[in-house]
Amino acid sequence: MSVHSKRVYEKPGAEDGMRILVDRLWPRGLSKEKAHVDLWLKELAPSTELRKWFAHDPEKWVEFQKRYRLELKDHSEALEQLKREVDQGPVTLLYAAKDESHNEALVLEKLMG
C-alpha cells in the first residue's frame, strides 16, 4: 500500500501508479493528455468556501486540516473509492497548488497512510 502526492504539473513517473487528481477545478493550462490523470475525484477536494478561506496560508494550515477532515465525512463514498485504489497498488494524489507543504493531497495522504 503506497500513496504519495505531487503537483499535477510534474512529469509522470513509472512509480506513480494510479494518478488521481484531488482538486475541484481542472489545473489551469494543462491538457488532459499532458496531465496523465487516471481518475478525477473532485468530490474529495475542499469546498470552494474552505479553499478560499485557507488560500494556502501556512498560519491557517492546522485549522484547514481540521475543517477539511470534517468536510470529508460528507464524502464517504469518494473516500471509500480512494481507499480501494490505494489497496490495489501505488497511488499518486495530484494537486495543482504551488505550495507543496500545505495542500489537500497531503491531508488525504495522511488519512490513507
94 has pLDDT over 90: yes
User: Can you give the pLDDT at residue 93?
Assistant: 98
Query: Per the structure block, which three cell numbers stand in for 106?
Result: 497531503
Q: Compute the average pLDDT of residues 90-95.
A: 97
User: What is the predicted pLDDT for the residue at 17?
Assistant: 96
Round to whole Å and give the CA distance between 100 and 80.
25
Task: Give Cβ neighbours of residue 101 (< 8 Å, ≥ 6 apart).
Answer: 58
**Beta carbons within 10 angstroms of residue 95's beta carbon:** 22
- pLDDT score for 95: 97
Q: What is the pLDDT of residue 113?
A: 79
Query: For position 1, what pLDDT does the model report?
Result: 64
- Cell 487516471: give the residue: 38
Range of the domain at 107: 3-112
pLDDT tens-digit profile of 2-48?
999 999 999 999 999 999 999 999 999 999 999 999 999 999 999 99
- Using left for φ > 0, alpha for ψ between -120 and 50, and beta otherwise, residue 17 falls in left
Mean of the per-residue pLDDT values of the chain: 95
Q: How many domains does the chain have?
A: 1
What is the distance between the terminal CA atoms of the chain, rounded to a whole angstrom? 8
6 in helix, strand or coil?
A: strand
Q: How far apart are CA 100 and CA 78, in angstroms?
A: 23
| Mean pLDDT (whole number) for 86-105 | 96
